[in-house]
Amino acid sequence: MFVRAREVAASVLQCFVGSPRTWRFEPPTPPGPEELAAMRRASGVEALVVHASYLINLATSDDALRRRSEALLGATLEAASALGAAGVVVHVGAQRGADPTSARVALVATIRRVLARSHVAVPLILENSASALFGQRPRDLGAIVDEVRDERLGVCIDTQHLFAAGIDLRDDRARTELVREIDELGPLLALWHVNDSASPCGSRRDHHANVGHGEIGQAAIVALMSEVGRTEADAVLEVPGDGGGPRLDYVLALRAALGSLGDGTRL
C-alpha cells in the first residue's frame, strides 16, 4: 500500500486492517517501528488512517451484533495503534426502523464501552452517515462527542455522505449553514473524506465518484473546505479512479485547488 501511495503522491494514506467485509480479524503482522518509519519515509506518507470494517454497527439494538462490533472495533484500535496510525474512522451505524433517539442512545453507550476497554491512545473518528436518518449532520456528530466525553474522539466529514443525506453543497445558503456547523466542531474536525457523488442529492446512497466527475462537482467541494475555518484536518480521497483508487492526476488537481488552505491540510 505504501508503494501505491507513492505512485499517487499521497501524503495521507487510509487503509483497512484485515478484510472490511468479514468478521474474522486477521490483521497482517505489522512491520517493526523502524521498518515502518523507513517505509513511510520512502513513500512520502506523513499520516496513516485506518478505516474500521463496514460490518461494525455501533448503534444497533441487536445485542449479538453490538458485541461483535465492539470486539472488532477494539481489535482495530489496537492494530491501528501498532501501526502508529493517526486515527481509526468508523461509521456511526444505524437502527433499521427505529427512531433516531434510540440509535443515538445505543451509539453513545457502545462508544463508551469500547473506549473504556481500550488502553490505546489512537483517536476514534466518527464519520457522518449517508442515510437521512441519523448522524448525518456535523452537529449530530458534535453532540455525540460531547455526550461521550473522551479526548480520543474526533469527527470525519465525508462530502458525498453530506450530499446523499440531502445537504446540497452547491447551494450557497445550505453551504453557509454547513460551514457554521463544521466550525462549531473546532479541533474535533480530524479528517475530510473528499468524494464526489455518483447519486443525486438526498439519494441516501453511499455512492462515491471521482471529484469533478459527479453530481457535486469540484468547485462546491473546494468551496466548502475553503470556507471552513479549521485548516489542520487531513483529507483522504475515497474515489474509484479507473477502478484502482485515486489517480495521481486527481490527487495533484485537488491539491492545487485546495492550495489556498496552506500547508495545514494534507491530502
Binding-site ranges for Zn ion (CB under 5 A): 158, 193
CA 205, 210, 213 angle in degrees (round to 5)?
95
Q: Closer to Zn ion by CB, 109 or 181: give it.
A: 181
Report in angstroms how near the CB of residue 193 gets to Zn ion at its nearest. 3
90 in Cβ contact with 125 (< 8 Å): yes
Please, what is the end-to-end C-alpha distance for the chain in angstroms? 16
Nearest to Zn ion of 202, 259 (CB atom): 202
State the minimum distance, in angstroms, from the CB of residue 192 to Zn ion: 9
Nearer to Zn ion, 193 or 207 (CB): 193
Nearer CB in complex with Zn ion: 79/92: 92
Q: Which residue lies nearer to Zn ion by CB, 78 or 158?
A: 158
Cβ distance to Zn ion smaller for residue 119 or 164? 164
Distance CA(177)–CA(180), nearest Å, equals: 5
Question: Of all residues in this chain, which one has the CB nearest to Zn ion in the complex?
Answer: 193
198-200-204-206 Cα dihedral, nearest 10 degrees: 10
* Closest distance of CB 161 from Zn ion, Å: 6
Q: What's the chain's length in residues?
A: 267
Please report how close the Cβ of residue 197 comes to Zn ion at its closest, in angstroms. Answer: 12
Instruction: Provide the minimum distance between the beta carbon of 159 and Zn ion in the complex, in angstroms, as a whole number.
Output: 9
| Distance of closest approach, residue 127 Cβ to Zn ion, in angstroms | 6
